[in-house]
Amino acid sequence: MKNILQLVLIFLSLSASPVFASEGVQNIGETLPLYSAIPFVGMLLSIALFPLLAPKFWHHHFGKVSAFWAIVTVIPLLIGHKGTALSEILHVVIGDYVPFIILLGSLYTVSGGILLRGTLRGTPLVNTIMIALGTFLASWMGTTGASMLLIRPFLRANAHRKNRAFMVVFFIFLVSNIGGALTPLGDPPLFLGFLRKVPFFWTFKLIPHMIAASIIILVIYFALDTYFYKKEEIKAPVNDNTKEPLRLDGTVNFIFIAGIVFAVLLSGIVDWGEVSILGVHRSVQDVVRDGLLILMAILSIVFTKRKVREDNAFTWSPIAEVAILFIGIFLTMLPCLKMLQAGPKGELAFIIATVREPVHYFWITGALSSFLDNAPTYLTFLNTALGAFYPGVAETEAVQMLIKEHPVYLKAISAGAVFYGAVTYIGNAPNFMVRSIAEESGTPMPSFFGYMIKYSLPILMPVFILVTLIFFR
């Protein structure tokens, strides 16, 4: 605790320095020092390392860690930039974090009310079809929604199999990550792009990239599953008398999923003016969208039988953890984003000078998304591209100019953020959830580094190299 207090005091003292303080500067990113990015790095390293090195501490104190890094970021900004900083902080919270967590929470709640009952026998063909189905659904239910909907039936279907870990790994590759590339509903980074006025259906331009990656991975999976299926002594029981017909409980939630899709689409195609919330200007249609998403979640809770959620092992812990951690992430990444927005005038100009070609954006965005979190990483490099091509231009206008004049850069950033989330357990939130559910069901999952060394690096890297050669060279 003493060390923590000392670190806070150091940052407070630094915030009072002339280089940090500049009330009159509109773009605070032009005056922020490089060390203002330390809380962001600290926050992301905490998420990456504490669960591995100190799991008990992290389980009990992750909220305190998130709050600490947020405080270390916010207080110096407020001291150094006063009203300008307050405006930026409110914009991050009200304009970015709140809609982000509302979408994620609504998808999590609604998908948690759908339960697939019945008997499935996990053959290579059945498993491949289930993963392919989940890959398709991920863009419309979110990677979180599709993963939570299918992972338990997938595990039950393969309960008789000896080698199950690789199945879950491929499920994470496609359903929890790559499958979410086609719509803002699919993966948080794309939704954050949508909030910055990337058109809803623009991400359909990633169809060739997703199909190429998905087909290759599915073929590899089918070959591996066929190999292990033939090698295993335990086969699926042949007594059909024990089979339970497949059926869905909680189907009313598909109406609410349609409501979520409608709400998001509506906010992207209408313009009902603006409203000021604590000085933050938000589009009326965005506020309506958030209200409809909350309504869909509430209706799901009301109209879904409690037993369905109980049988689905539904709890609020995963989404609560995400909400607590992401408020810290969104606040600590603020200085980084502002420095990148400053372009060559900011302290992160060296990144803009280094990252030039689409291949750079794909691999660097992807590499960071593998170990950090893909949502803030997407924003970081979106702002890098905006700073490189349109320094000083308003964000909304700059995004439209990027889409029109340099679309391949946005494709590279989007594909990198979504695809590379599969490289590690910490690359995307559903990865953690799927791993936890698999282990609870008795499936021994590889360690953090075992996952990378045995599966993601030898399988995904060659696939991403091919994607690069085809689309981003």
At 237 the pLDDT is 55
At 26 the pLDDT is 56
Residues near 324 by Cβ (< 8 Å), separated by ≥ 6?
62, 63, 66
Using CA atoms, how far residue 365 sits from 52, 104, 371, 415, in Å, is 23, 22, 11, 9
Tokens of 181: 């590339």
At 465 the pLDDT is 96
Task: Assess whether pLDDT exceeds 80 at residue 423.
Answer: yes
| pLDDT tens-digit readout, 22-69 | 444 457 888 888 889 899 889 878 877 887 788 889 888 999 999 999
Average pLDDT of the residues in 105-118: 86
Query: Using CB atoms within 10 A of its CB, is residue 17 exposed (0-12), middle (13-18) or buried (19+)?
Result: exposed
Average pLDDT of the residues in 246-252: 88
| pLDDT tens-digit readout, 266-314 | 887 788 999 988 888 888 999 999 999 999 999 999 999 999 998 887 8
Pick from 144-148, 371-375, 402-406 the range whose average pLDDT is largest.
402-406
Task: Assess whether pLDDT exceeds 80 at residue 128.
Answer: yes
The label of the residue with tokens 């080698």 reads 163
At 108 the pLDDT is 85
Mean per-residue pLDDT over the chain, rounded: 85
Tokens of 244: 């339970």
Task: Assess whether pLDDT exceeds 50 at residue 21.
Answer: no
Split at pLDDT 50, 70, 90, the class of 240 is low
At 232 the pLDDT is 80
At 372 the pLDDT is 61
Average pLDDT of the residues in 137-157: 86
| pLDDT tens-digit readout, 377-416 | 788 889 888 888 888 888 888 999 999 999 999 999 999 9
Query: Using CB atoms within 10 A of its CB, is residue 8 exposed (0-12), middle (13-18) or buried (19+)?
Result: middle
At 220 the pLDDT is 96
At 5 the pLDDT is 42
Split at pLDDT 50, 70, 90, the class of 239 is low
| pLDDT tens-digit readout, 336-347 | 878 877 777 888
> Which of the pair, 224 or 160, is modelled with greater confidence?
224
Using CA atoms, how far residue 398 sits from 195, 213, 394, 439, in Å, is 14, 30, 6, 45
Average pLDDT of the residues in 76-81: 87
Phi-psi region of 118 (alpha: psi -120 to 50; beta: other; left: phi over 0): left
Residue pair 139/179 in contact by the 8 Å Cβ criterion: yes
Whole-number Å distance between alpha carbons of 247 and 244: 9
Residues near 43 by Cβ (< 8 Å), separated by ≥ 6?
65, 66, 69, 70, 328, 329, 332
